[in-house]
Amino acid sequence: MDKLKEKFAQKALPLADEIKTLIKEHGNIVLGSYTLEQVYHGMKGMIGMVTETSKLDPEEGIRFRGYSIPELRLKLPRGAGGENLPEGIFYLLLTGELPTEDDAREVSNAWARRSHVPKHVFDMLDSLPMATHPMTQFSLAILAMQTESNFAAAYRKGINKKQYWDPMFEDVMNCIARLPRIAAYIYRRTYKNGVHIEPNPKLDWGANFAHMLGFEDEGMHALMRLYLTIHVDHEGGNVSAHTTHLVGSALSDAYYSLSAGMNGLAGPLHGLANQEVVRWIYDLRQFYGDKMPSKEDIAEYVEKTLAEGRVVPGYGHAVLRKTDPRYIAQMEFAQTHLADDELFKIVQMLYEVVPEILKSTGKIKNPWPNVDAHSGVLLIHYGLTEYDFYTVLFGVSRAIGVLTSLLWDRALGSPIERPGSVTSDWMKAQVEKAKTTA
Radius of gyration of the chain (CA): 22
* C-beta of 169 vs 315, nearer to ligand HAX: 315
Question: Of 372, 374, 381, 409, which is the active-site residue?
Answer: 372
Q: List the strands of the sheet with 61-64, edge to edge.
A: 54-57, 61-64, 67-68
Number of residues in contact with ligand HAX under rule CB under 6 A: 22
Tell me, yes or no, if 126 is annotated catalytic.
no
* Partners of 35 in the β-ladder: none
Question: Of 221, 242, 245, 317, which is the active-site residue?
Answer: 317
* Closest distance of CB 272 from ligand HAX, Å: 8
Question: Of 242, 270, 374, 381, which is the active-site residue?
Answer: 270
> Can you tell me which of 270, 285, 374, 381 binds ligand HAX, judged by CB under 6 A?
270
* Closest distance of CB 137 from ligand HAX, Å: 19
* Closest distance of CB 315 from ligand HAX, Å: 4
Amino acid at residue number 196: H
* Closest distance of CB 238 from ligand HAX, Å: 6
> Can you tell me which of 314, 325, 376, 395 binds ligand HAX, judged by CB under 6 A?
314
Alpha-carbon span 378 to 337, nearest angstrom: 9
Tell me, yes or no, if 270 is annotated catalytic.
yes
* C-beta of 267 vs 413, nearer to ligand HAX: 267
* C-beta of 36 vs 434, nearer to ligand HAX: 36
Alpha-carbon span 94 to 403, nearest angstrom: 10
Residue 206 interacting with ligand HAX (CB under 6 A): no
> Can you tell me which of 271, 325, 376, 401 binds ligand HAX, judged by CB under 6 A?
271
Q: How far from each other are the two terminal CA atoms of the chain, in whole angstroms?
A: 63
Taking phi over 0 as left and psi of -120 to 50 as alpha, with beta for the rest, 398 belongs to alpha
For residue 247, which phi and psi values (nearest 5 degrees)? Answer: -65, -40
Nearest-CA neighbor of 413 among 169, 246, 165? 165
* Closest distance of CB 347 from ligand HAX, Å: 13
Residue 434 interacting with ligand HAX (CB under 6 A): no
Cβ atoms of residues 216 and 88 within 8 Å: no
* C-beta of 85 vs 358, nearer to ligand HAX: 358
Alpha-carbon span 438 to 433, nearest angstrom: 9
DSSP 290: T
> Can you tell me which of 79, 86, 248, 316 binds ligand HAX, judged by CB under 6 A?
316
The CA-based diameter of the chain, rounded to the nearest angstrom, is 72
* Closest distance of CB 350 from ligand HAX, Å: 11
* Closest distance of CB 240 from ligand HAX, Å: 8
Alpha-carbon span 282 to 427, nearest angstrom: 44
Alpha-carbon span 388 to 274, nearest angstrom: 9
> Can you tell me which of 81, 99, 180, 313 binds ligand HAX, judged by CB under 6 A?
313
Residue 315 interacting with ligand HAX (CB under 6 A): yes
Kindly give, in sequence order, each residue whose CB lies less than 8 Å from that of residue 21, ignoring residues fewer than 6 positions away.
none
> Can you tell me which of 207, 223, 318, 411 binds ligand HAX, judged by CB under 6 A?
318
* C-beta of 39 vs 124, nearer to ligand HAX: 39
Nearest-CA neighbor of 392 among 65, 146, 136, 78? 136
Q: Which stretch binds ligand HAX (CB under 6 A): 59-67, 151-159, 290-298, 365-373?
A: 365-373
> Can you tell me which of 273, 278, 357, 377 binds ligand HAX, judged by CB under 6 A?
273
DSSP letters for 384-421:
---GGGHHHHHHHHHHHHHHHHHHHHHHTT--------
Alpha-carbon span 16 to 164, nearest angstrom: 13
Residue 26 interacting with ligand HAX (CB under 6 A): no
Residue 403 interacting with ligand HAX (CB under 6 A): no
Between residue 219 and residue 248, which ones bind ligand HAX under the rule CB under 6 A?
Answer: 238
Between residue 40 and residue 69, which ones bind ligand HAX under the rule CB under 6 A?
Answer: 44
> Can you tell me which of 52, 87, 103, 372 binds ligand HAX, judged by CB under 6 A?
372
Nearest-CA neighbor of 399 among 235, 172, 117? 172
Considering Cα of 274, then 275, then 278, then 283, what sign does the dihedral take? negative
* Closest distance of CB 135 from ligand HAX, Å: 12
* Partners of 68 in the β-ladder: 63
> Can you tell me which of 16, 128, 311, 346 binds ligand HAX, judged by CB under 6 A?
311
Nearest-CA neighbor of 372 among 262, 241, 280, 254? 280
Give the interface with ligand HAX as residue ranges (CB under 6 A): 44, 238, 269-271, 273, 306, 311-318, 363-366, 370-372
Residues with catalytic roles: 270, 317, 372
